[in-house]
Amino acid sequence: MSIALYDDDFRRYVHVPFNLELMKLATYYKRKNEIVVLTPSIQRDRHTSIFLQKDYNDGIFIRNPLSYDNLTTGGLAYTGGTYAPMDEAIERCSADTGIYSKVEPLFCTNAFYTQAFKVMSRAIHFRLSLDGSTIWKAYATQLSNLRNANCLFLHDPNLGEIEGARDVINSLLSHMPNNVTGRRVGSKFPIVVKDDQDLLDWTNFRNTAAFYSLQYNGVMDDEVFYDFVQHTKGTTITDQLVYNIGAGARYATDEFLMNQLPKIFKQVVFSRSHKLKIRLNYTEDFFLDPRWKKLLILWQSYALQPKDTDNEFFIKAPFSFYIEGVYKGTFFLRGVERREEIRDILQFVKQENYELFKLFYECNEVTLKGGKFENDSVRN
C-alpha cells in the first residue's frame, strides 16, 4: 500500500505547527511496512489511501471530497472545533516528525523559523486529553525518549480546560534534561486561561518562542496587567499574549467605549514603557464604527515602536508624537494608509470621547496606584 498524508494547513500557511494526527498515522502505517509520504498535492490515482488533515477553519475546503473513494478527511475544521479521536491503536502511537523533513526548505525562510523547525523536529508531540476535559489514561503511550527531549509540544485545542494539565506537564518536564535549551513547552493552539491566577500560572513554563500563546478573555484589571508584565520580564510570553478585549460581547457598548478604552490605553502606555508588544484581539464586527478598529491598530504599533531603542525620551514619547510621525510619513503603519485617515480618527475620538482624546497628548507614563493605572506624566 501507498499512504499519502496531506497537511492542508501547512500547504496554505507554511509557518504552522506540524500536524499530530498525520505524524501518528505515519508511525502506525510504517509499523505495517507500508510506504508513507507527506504529499504536496492530492492525486487519487497515485496512492492507495490519502489522509487529509485540516485544523484551522478558514472556510477553504477541498472540492467534492466525496468524489474521492480513497480520501479520508479529518481535523478540527471538519469536526466543528471538537476533537474526534482516531482508532485507539493510532492514538497510542508516538509522532513521527521525520515526515516533515522534506519540507524543511519551505518552512525555514529565516533564522527564526529555522530554529522553530528544529525545535518541532526534536520535540515530543502529543495530546493530554481525548475528551477535552480529562487526562487520557493512556497518554503516556505517545511519549518516546523523554529523557533526551528538549520540548513538550501539546496539540490539545483547549489545554486550559483540561483538569490537572499543568501538573502532568510539570511532572513530565522534571524527567527531561535541565539545560539551556531543555524543558520547554509548546502548544499548537492558544491556551485560554480561566482567571487572573490561571494566567500567571501558565506563564511559569519556559516556552518555545514560535508556538506558545495565552489567551485572556475580557479587559484585565490594571493590577493583573501589572503583575503579568512584572512576572514575565525577560521572556517572550508578553509578545505571545492574545488579549481578547471583546470577549463576552457581540459589539462594543457605550460603556466599553467611554470607560474601558481609556483603561486599555493606559495599559498600552505601560506596555510601551517596558518595550512590550500588546496584541489586542476582537471580532471583526465588534466595533460598529471602523475608526475605533483603526485606532487600536495605531495603539498596538505605538506600544511596539520603541522595542529596539534605549532612548528614554523616545520611549516616553506620548501617543500624539507617534501619530504625528505616522501623519508625516516618518513612521510607516500598515492598515492606516492615508494621512486623511489619521486626521479623521483623531477628530472622531475627540468628538466621541474627549477624555480619551486628552490622554493622547497628556499621558505618556502611568503608575499603579490603588490597583489602577494613573497618569503620572510630567508636562513641560
Alpha-carbon torsion angle 129, 134, 135, 136, nearest 10: -60
Q: How far apart are the first and last CA of the chain?
A: 77
pTM value is 0.88
At residue 284, the pLDDT reads 87
Q: Is the per-residue pLDDT at 127 higher than 80?
A: yes
Q: Please report whether residue 188 resides in a domain.
A: no
At residue 83, the pLDDT reads 96
Q: Which three cell numbers stand for residue 135?
A: 487526562
Q: Please report whether residue 68 resides in a domain.
A: yes
Q: Which three cell numbers stand for residue 5?
A: 498524508
Structure letter (DSSP) for residue 114: H
Q: Please report whether residue 181 resides in a domain.
A: no
Q: Please report whether residue 70 resides in a domain.
A: yes
Q: Please report whether residue 76 resides in a domain.
A: yes
The number of distinct structural domains making up the chain is 1
Pick from 197, 221, 230, 222: nearest CA to 367: 222
Q: Please report whether residue 7 resides in a domain.
A: yes
Q: What is the rounded distance in angstroms from the CA atom of residue 215 to the CA atom of residue 281?
A: 9
Q: What is the rounded distance in angstroms from the CA atom of residue 126 to the CA atom of residue 143?
A: 7
The pLDDT mean for the chain works out to 90
DSSP 339-361: HHHHHHHHHHHHHH-HHHHHHHH
Q: Which three cell numbers stand for residue 116?
A: 522553530
Q: What is the mean pLDDT of residues 323-338?
A: 66
Q: What stretches of the chain adopt beta strand conformation (E)?
A: 2-7, 35-38, 49-53, 71-74, 124-126, 151-154, 184-187, 191-192, 206-207, 214-217, 241-244, 279-281, 366-369, 372-375
- 282 in Cβ contact with 250 (< 8 Å): no
Q: Please report whether residue 236 resides in a domain.
A: no
Q: Please report whether residue 238 resides in a domain.
A: no
DSSP 214-243: EEEESPPPHHHHHHHHHHTTTSSGGGGEEE
Q: Is the per-residue pLDDT at 64 higher than 90?
A: no
What range does the domain containing 50 cover? Answer: 1-96
Tens digit of pLDDT for each residue in 82-111? Answer: 999 999 999 999 999 999 999 999 999 999
Pick from 325, 323, 309, 319: nearest CA to 363: 319
pLDDT above 70: percentage of residues in the chain: 94
